[in-house]
Structure 1
Amino acid sequence: MYLRTTQRKNKNGTTVRYVQLAHNRRVDGTTQAEVLHNFGREDRLDTDGLRRLVASINRYLGEDGADAAASAAGGGLEVTGSRPLGAVWLLEGLWRHLEIDSALARILGARRFRTDVERVLFALVANRAIAPASKLSAAEWAGRDAVIPGLQAMDEDQAYRAMDLLVEADAQAEVQEAVFFAVANLLNLEVDLLFFDTTNTYFERDEPDAGETPFRTYGKSKDHRDDLPQITIGLAVTKEGVPVRCWVWPGGTSDQAILPQVKDDMRDWKLGRVITVVDRGFSCADNLAYLTRAGGHHIAGMRMRDGGDLAEAALARQGRYQQVRDNLRVKEVKLDQAPGRRFVICHNPAQEERDRHHREEAIKRIEAELERIRAQRERDAKRATTPKARERAEAAHVRAECALIEHPTLKRWLRTSKNGRLAIDRAKVKAEERLDGKYLLTSSDPHLSAEEIAVGYKALLEAERGFRDLKTVLELRPVFHRLEHRIRAHVLLCWLALLLIRVAERRTGQTWNRISTQLGRVHEVTLTGDAGQITQTTPLTPEQAALYRDCGIKPPPRITAADPS
């Protein structure tokens, strides 16, 4: 295949040349030229088109000179930058739509800073939602790896300064209150039912904080890391899963001591009729009494195995279950010894089957292990011929029994018999059978039905889902801060990120992972050439456009900047 030229003479005597793309074919033993494409007259030839063809062929072959040819073909225009924009643009739209920027502006007041604090805080929140990293890495990400509208670059010191301003003088409570009412009004949230729960996050260090009131200290960890210092985090969410407030306490703070502060903080917002839903860890009498002060109400889970006389009396009452859903039946009972309180027993048939199966498997394991220890003890008794040998054998048997009775799941079914040997506690097994698939709720609200109490309590899973996303999607830990106010600011940034992604999920009906993956493919591309510089975004796919539309956010413009030389 080659380029060739042909010519012909005009009537006026001039000669015209034509350029063609041709290749040779053998026909009946002779070679003939076959024209594949006519490029036209040589004096009217599209030379730029030929250069682009040459550049395309060179790129395919990997030959040198391809970039130069492409540059010449494009008039010197080349790509000088490309950064993802789509996910940040969505978060930016939600940030402004929920009036978080206005709330921060009111709190920061008329103070002037050399850095736009609101933009830096948004960059930290966006980084936590899209590519969680340390504050140093987040500063680099915001300046080089992502497009943050209104912020060209930032450094680590600016990030820390913005975090300090966020939590100074109790500003964090003002931020959360302002954001909450903006979110509640814009999203039309039902805030008469608020769910509250706590979790822990630990620090990769050996020693707790020093001083009389340490912040990072040891306690009972819900992550099963009692060996590491920790803090306690509280989260209040609506039944739609939208987080409305978060709290941070020193590690080891008991759940029983937390609820009065939560109640008082929420009362300051003057929400009207609010029913607080809490788990079994908060259901002591003092906490429940505190929740009913000033006209408040509660729905609380109760401990059944060690819940005291009230739980035992409620479970002993007879009554007929009401079918609520395929996997849920409810029965309300009233107790004379607890006036003003309602008790609802919930029964899940599927969970009952699972509980029975797990218990039977545990009993089988215990029986097999006890039989093994008994058989081994008999064999060793026959083999041991000296007192020292019998002593060593018995010590081994005791160690095996100790390992069994200290097992985290099996020990509950064991008891020590009169002869000092381990045995299965059959009375405990029988008592547990009547609790299979059941849980007990109590409420102070006289207007809720038993079904509403049960369904409302099940929605408490939204708070647990929020904690799960804080620790996985947003990577709350590892926490790289050591000062208390920086730790509080870090948790608050994670809460703001959780708020934004929850709103995006609620409006689109898709997970944040899917949303960020799709919108992460929208880039802002910078082209530089002899005529100047232009910045534009890549075209949106139908799915990407639908995500912006569902969230009520205008998509980014095709041309975001133009700078002619």
Structure 2
Amino acid sequence: MFVVEKAARGRRYLYLVETVREPGGRVRQRILQPLGRKDILKQSGALDRLLQSLGRHCERSIILSDIAAGTIACRRIGAPLLFGRLWQRVGIADVLHNRLAGRGFEFDVERAIFVTVLHRIMVSGSDRACERWMEDYEIRGAEGLALHHLYRAMAWLGEELPDAEQAGATPFAPRCVKDQIEEELFARRRDLFSELSVVFMDTTSLCFHGRGGETLGRRGHSKDHRPDLNQMLLAVVIDADGRPLCTEIWPGNTADVAVLLPVIDRLRSRFAIGRVCVVADRGMISQATIEGLEARGLEYILGARERSDPLIREVVLADERPFTPLLIERANGAETELRIKEVSVAGRRYVVCRNEAEAERDRADRQAILAGLERQLKRGDKALIGNSAYRRYLRRLRDGDGKPGPAFEIDPGKAAEEAKYDGLFVLRTNARITPLQAVLRYRDLLAVEELFRRTKALLRTRPIYHSSDAAIRGHVFCSFLALLLQKELATLCAAKGVKIEWANLLRDLDRLQQATIEKDGKRIVTRTHAEGQVGRVFQAAGVALLPPHFREHPG
């Protein structure tokens, strides 16, 4: 039923009508009740009284209209419902409560950590911004939390353990509360069939605009290209399923090649694992590192330095045996063409791989650089030598040739030398696996690089306002927990065939809102409709979408 307006004899009349379908299939409107002249109804107030009377029977529609118009305050419920369920499923809440037993905090530390992690997932803002941000969300148990509570929770996560519990600490970092949490989370999901025989590890640097704690903030090789700032080093270790296992943090002046062995020793003691195959990038390799891995009886798959290692450049890559072509089917149904061969030199086993698609991209990139270089040379070459992309292809002209013009020219030999490395990478391994298995495991290291891209987005809080090492470690650990929840959700959705578009999902979650209104002695709770991906993602994660659209409570 609905109200229509019709004109008759120069007047406007309102009618209550309904739509009916006649036997022939024709649809027409049937008048149920004339309401009267529109101008008289408005002047007498009868129209307003009619609407108020109807409103008593359609409160939800009116409330939702007020929510859309912004006249009723509401709170967002999508993210707390979804990630709160995952928080319980992974076991983080239980582990935190176990760790907090006997501690005399006057606020709910577990809720403070959950709020911080949820904030890191949704907006990746500073912890200072989190205090205002959480006011817009319906987060159970977060009432009364303030900024100093969040800071104290961070400091507790990074708090050093007593001296009696420091067994297994690395030379660069002590054992902390967050280490115990990582170990207990792993133990909760470990069973007789769990295997941690392959671990992937990579590092990055995170810079500070401030001092960076008592010991963490130091000057060193900056992967953020900010050598003027203090920094710390962050390592993320994941298992063969791509699940984050733990994080390690060191002062910013620690060399990558110095950390691999201490971290592996610590992993073996922390997670009670025996056989380990370490997969790491070339930046973490030194001869001493390889000798240390072999002395421990550990397997490894390590990226090698094709350009700077003379043995690889002059012997391994010069090997004339043919490549074996292989087609690898990817998860999206596409295929990757690889050419692989194994080369043994002085008892060392190397696997050389050429990716044809990446080789074509490298060739196209080089041609674009050379074309740009040629154009720049015609305009002048004073600034070229400072451009690293250009410099590798330049050579200086001989002095005294008497010719005006540029002092540099393109060196065809350097361009040809660079072409030899298109799409090429070399691995060194002692693992008892086929060359293809070694390549595929090494390519899984890309999952760590993807984690780092997401970690840096989650850590987009610079300048970090924490001034103690403990609070900084806790701050980073909250990003680790956020990654753990994202991985759990991705796993559950993949099992149900649901593909997540993260940016869209976060926006859809924020659109799911709830309002509570006191009306006519009743307390009414209502929410907006689930839009976009929310319904399918909630179903995949086993989340009940509460509250119902409309619910009344006694006044």
Match of 1:525 in 2: 515
Distance in 2 (alpha carbons) for counterparts of 1:198 and 1:483? 22
**Is 1:353 the equivalent of 2:360?**
yes
State the 1:83 CA deviation. 0.5
Pairwise mapping of residues 292-441 of structure 1 onto structure 2 (< 5 A)? 292-325=294-327, 326-337=335-346, 339=347, 341-366=348-373, 400-401=381-382, 403-416=383-396, 419=399, 422=408, 424-441=410-427
Asked if the contact 1:241–1:466 (Cα under 8 Å) also holds between the matched residues in 2, the reply is no
**Is 1:489 the equivalent of 2:474?**
yes
State the 1:426 CA deviation. 4.5
State the 1:97 CA deviation. 0.5
State the 1:351 CA deviation. 2.4
Letter of the structure 2 residue corresponding to residue 466 of structure 1 = L
Pairwise mapping of residues 74-93 of structure 1 onto structure 2 (< 5 A)? 81-93=73-85
User: Which residue among 89, 101, 111 is the counterpart of 2:103?
Assistant: 111
**Is 1:54 the equivalent of 2:61?**
no
Distance in 2 (alpha carbons) for counterparts of 1:452 and 1:51? 81
- Please list every run of 5 or more consecutive structure 1 residues that lacks an aligned counterpart in the other structure: 1-19, 42-46, 58-65, 374-399
Deviations 1:430-482 (A, max 9, x none): 43332222110111111x21111111111211111111112225635442323
Distance in 1 (alpha carbons) for counterparts of 2:207 and 2:50? 56
Distance in 2 (alpha carbons) for counterparts of 1:469 and 1:51? 59
Deviations 1:370-395 (A, max 9, x none): 5666xxxxxxxxxxxxxxxxxxxxxx
Distance in 1 (alpha carbons) for counterparts of 2:389 and 2:465? 35
State the 1:297 CA deviation. 1.4
- Worse overlay, 97-106 or 175-184: 175-184
- Please list every run of 5 or more consecutive structure 2 residues that lacks an aligned counterpart in the other structure: 17-30, 36-40, 162-175, 328-334, 401-406, 494-498
Scaled by the length of structure 2, what TM-score is found? Answer: 0.78
**Is 1:179 the equivalent of 2:208?**
no
Distance in 1 (alpha carbons) for counterparts of 2:54 and 2:364? 72
Aligned CA distance change for structure 1 residues 35 and 257 (closer, same or farther; 3 Å): closer
User: Which residue among 117, 126, 144 is the counterpart of 1:134?
Assistant: 126
State the 1:173 CA deviation. 0.6
Pairwise mapping of residues 237-276 of structure 1 onto structure 2 (< 5 A)? 237-268=238-269, 269-276=271-278
Aligned CA distance change for structure 1 residues 559 and 535 (closer, same or farther; 3 Å): same
State the 1:124 CA deviation. 0.8
User: Which residue among 160, 164, 176 is the counterpart of 2:151?
Assistant: 160
Scaled by the length of structure 1, what TM-score is found? Answer: 0.76
Aligned CA distance change for structure 1 residues 25 and 429 (closer, same or farther; 3 Å): closer
Identity %: 28
Q: Secondary structure at the match of 2:180?
A: helix
Distance in 2 (alpha carbons) for counterparts of 1:560 and 1:171? 43
Q: Secondary structure at the match of 1:295?
A: coil
Distance in 2 (alpha carbons) for counterparts of 1:117 and 1:190? 32
Asked if the contact 1:319–1:331 (Cα under 8 Å) also holds between the matched residues in 2, the reply is no
Which is richer in helix? 1
Distance in 2 (alpha carbons) for counterparts of 1:286 and 1:280? 14
RMSD: 3.8
Match of 1:382 in 2: none
State the 1:425 CA deviation. 4.3
Structure with higher Rg: it is: 1
User: Which residue among 267, 271, 287 is the counterpart of 1:285?
Assistant: 287
Distance in 2 (alpha carbons) for counterparts of 1:302 and 1:252? 23
Number of aligned residues: 492
Match of 1:194 in 2: 199
Distance in 2 (alpha carbons) for counterparts of 1:322 and 1:523? 57
- Worse overlay, 123-132 or 176-185: 176-185
Aligned CA distance change for structure 1 residues 457 and 35 (closer, same or farther; 3 Å): closer
Distance in 2 (alpha carbons) for counterparts of 1:365 and 1:534? 66
Match of 2:541 in 1: 551
